[in-house]
Chain A
Amino acid sequence: MKGAFDGTGKVFKFTAKQLLKNKANIFSLIFMMLVALLSFPIISMFDTQEMPQNTYTDNTDFSNVKRIYYIDQTELALTPELLTHFGFDGIEKINKADFELNRFDEATESGSMLLVFSPSEEGSIPSCMIYFNGVQNSNDLLSAVQPRISQYLYTEYLLRSGADANSITKLTKPIRSNVYYESDYLDSGQEESMMANFTIQYLYSIVLMLLTLLTSAYIIKSVIEEKSSKVVETLMVSVRPLATVAGKVLAVMAYAFIMTLGIAAAFVCSYFIAGKGESSSIDQLLTGFFSSLNLTPFTAFAALVSLILAFFTFAAISAITGAGCSSSDDIESASMSVVLPFITLYIISSIVTPIVGGTFASVYALIPFISAFCALPMYVMGVITLPVLIASWIIQALLDLALIYFGASVYRYLIVYNGSKLKFIDIIRTFKRKGVNAK
């Protein structure tokens, strides 16, 4: 192995330079960046659904309520005028001293509602208790009123704390709030958690799929390039097959990452060009999406490491397939040899990953090839621990090294091969029979 990677950097640099100088590649990148750049402005044109602004008016049905009383025990000095934001006119302030809560039913007429604003514990927002006297559908009314009261108290609290209007606008964006029965609440929590897991698993797989499928043809083409142009013999007296194959794989991977970063940057620019960041349905969607990911700096790092290792696995498979070809006519069929195993592994992972648990989950996350898809989502979902994730990385890194070594061996053995594409099984048979090495 010693010195077998000598020259990898030079092959990488030359291949990457030629990929980036290629006019068709430059055009593709510019085109995709333009599409990304225009995406948010175009979506905005059709996005007329604005989020409700920070007002307390709503169309809550107060038809069953005849009177609303409130007791203010806070230091906020709440006024009936402020409470008219609820869209109900008959609001009356009563003093705590004149009123006994346990006699609320007797003291008020049926159809009354009482809001008791209590002082906060030190440093927190005041609370509100709501009492109903003979109000029909009080649960529905409670669900409708509760978030608005919360928001109202929060705003008043911020105002009294000296926050300016701009800060308050940012801090009091509409809060989605629901009232649940206990059993419903537990179901809902599981549902949200499952949704987040679903997002992580599929987003990660989709990014991996995009990178793999978009680059497999590039890698195969790059590996075949020397054979089809008959420059391979000249190259092989200057650099070893292992360095050649590794350099090419890494160059195409780097090119794919540059493209991905370029497109992502164009999306970010597009988002700000379209004036997002204000309240809009897209903004809410994106905020919800990213908050559901629960992304921390470490999970982002873990995702990047997993993605690079998994991407390398399939890039190396592409290189092996390319090494079994001698002409660029074989690129299409060779690409299929990468796509099919990828899709198969993806389907297996999609089915099995959500249902495994316990010790088996840890073993499952370490299975070569499968772990490329499942280890990261399982870690983020809390199914496997960090040591298991790191173990899966180590196994995958060794697998990647073995695959690239195998690819280089095939490349070396077939340097002067000039025929139709070899099937994967033929490549393995050849390798077994000859026991060639990559040096």
Chain B
Amino acid sequence: MSLVVKDLSKKYGDKPALQNLSFSMEEPGVYAVLGTNGAGKTTALRMILGMLSKDSGEVVWKGHELDIKTCNVGYLAEERGLYPKYPILDQLLYFAALRKVDKNTALKRIKELANTLEVQEYIFPQNAYSSSGKTVKKIKPKRPDQLSKGNQQKIQFMIALLSDPELLILDEPMSGLDPVNTDLFKNIIRQEINKGKYIIMSSHQMPTVEEFCTDIVILDKSRIVLQGNLNEIKKQLGRTRLSLKVEKNINDIIAKEGVSVISEKEYEYELKVSGSEQANALLSDLIFAQVPIIKFDLKEPSLHEIFVSKVGNEQ
């Protein structure tokens, strides 16, 4: 067992911030910590990292208490920040040095990451040259306060990755990013997964979580409302989502079978069925009524639906 989080609890005054969070990661992969705003996700991640004191519980990494000494951990915090006035390269080298990465290795890694995240022009600016090859303008490296929020976020992501961490904790890694930069981040996360890293991710972007995560825990009001392997959870919940596209109105057939409609648009239906028996009955009715069927797709519920159903019910 590489990572064991056992019975983490925390109160702020009398108000519980996290109650009995437990999970473990036996193998490399991505574990998602999900929840509504204020559910206790960031508190949980900070407690795992030892930044917040625990009222109870423990976090064990490969048999030892998780600590900066026992685990090479990379962290992208929810509260993003850099030293606003110091040169970016100085900061990257500083964080690399603190993680005991030698300067040459750090520079090599900074160049690779800067290239992947498309921020090399801010860290290693090229001087402007005239046609005769003379330096026309010497361009200074940028400081963080001269960058957009998205680019600052890329620099922070670089810091998290500089030491080639074994455990990567990403708190809302893609919040505030445009689709192009989101894809850049996703590519790097994919690379880290392929390298066999342990990743704990918190996010509100359910499709992204679904794309990467094998296991999840959903928190609501500091408590766990759902936990486990995502595929198994989906299997347990069954195939209850039916996407149906036909060429005429079938509202009477749907009503006859007692199926609830989630959405309907130009004979394209999203339906919620009780299971495969009800879906098959509906299919028989449609065939018997000689309704031309373009699409009939019985699916497992999406993570978004699972999340909304669990947290929505709680709320």
Contact = CB atoms under 8 A, between A and B. Distances in A.
Given A230-B80, A239-B68, A7 B49 contact: no
A436 interface: yes
A137 interface: no
A231 interface: yes
Interface residues of B, number: 27
Contacts of A225: 83
Contact of B53 (A233, A239, A434): A434
B81 A232 contact: yes
B94 interface: yes
B51 A416 contact: yes
Interface string A223-258: 001100111111111111000000000000000000
Interface stretch (B32-40, B70-78, B212-220): B70-78
Interface in A203-225: 225
Interface string A393-431: 000000000000000000001011000000000000000
B286 interface: no
A10 interface: yes
Nearest to A436: B53
A434 B53 CA distance: 9
B52 A416 contact: yes
Contacts of A177: none
A237 B75 contact: yes
B138 to A, nearest CB: 17
B193 interface: no
A14 B94 contact: yes
A307 to B, nearest CB: 30
Nearest to B171: A233
Interface string B9-52: 00000000000000000000000000000000000001001011
Nearest to A7: B98
A238 B160 CA distance: 10
Nearest to B99: A238
A229 B77 CA distance: 13
A234 B75 CA distance: 6
A3 interface: yes
Contacts of A238: 68, 95, 98-99
B266 interface: no
B313 to A, nearest CB: 31
A234 B159 contact: yes
B94 A237 contact: no
A201 to B, nearest CB: 41
A230 B53 contact: no
Interface string B46-71: 10010111000000000000001100
A3 B156 CA distance: 26
A18 interface: yes
Given A7-B98, A10-B97, A229-B84, A234 B46 contact: no
Given A7-B98, A14-B94, A237 B86 contact: no
B83 A236 contact: no
A248 to B, nearest CB: 13
A240 B70 CA distance: 13
B82 interface: yes
B277 interface: no
A55 to B, nearest CB: 63
B51 A229 contact: no
A236 B95 contact: no
A138 B83 CA distance: 79
Nearest to B163: A238
A233 B82 contact: no
A238 B53 CA distance: 17
B98 A415 contact: no
Nearest to A22: B85
Given A3-B69, A238-B68, A233 B51 contact: yes
A10 B101 CA distance: 12
A17 B90 CA distance: 10
Nearest to A14: B94
B79 interface: yes
A124 B117 CA distance: 86
Nearest to B169: A237
B45 to A, nearest CB: 9
Nearest to A237: B75
Given A10-B98, A14-B94, A230-B81, A237 B49 contact: yes
Contacts of B90: 14, 17-18
Contact of B79 (A230, A239, A413): A230
Contacts of B73: 237
A230 B53 CA distance: 19
Given A233-B46, A233-B75, A239 B82 contact: no
A137 to B, nearest CB: 75
A133 B46 CA distance: 99
B51 A234 contact: no
Interface string A368-401: 0000000000000000000000000000000000
A234 to B, nearest CB: 6
A415 B51 contact: yes
Interface in B93-110: 94-95, 97-99
- A-B residue pairs, 9 tightest by C-beta: A230-B81, A238-B98, A233-B77, A231-B81, A237-B75, A230-B79, A14-B94, A229-B81, A239-B98
27 contacts: A17-B90, A18-B86, A18-B90, A225-B83, A226-B81, A229-B83, A230-B77, A230-B81, A231-B83, A232-B81, A233-B79, A234-B75, A234-B81, A234-B156, A236-B49, A236-B68, A237-B49, A237-B68, A238-B99, A239-B68, A239-B98, A240-B68, A413-B53, A416-B46, A416-B52, A416-B79, A436-B53
Given A17-B90, A230-B77, A436-B53, 5 more contacts: A3-B69, A6-B69, A18-B83, A235-B95, A237-B68
Interface of A: 3, 6-7, 10-11, 14, 17-18, 225-226, 229-240, 413, 415-416, 434, 436
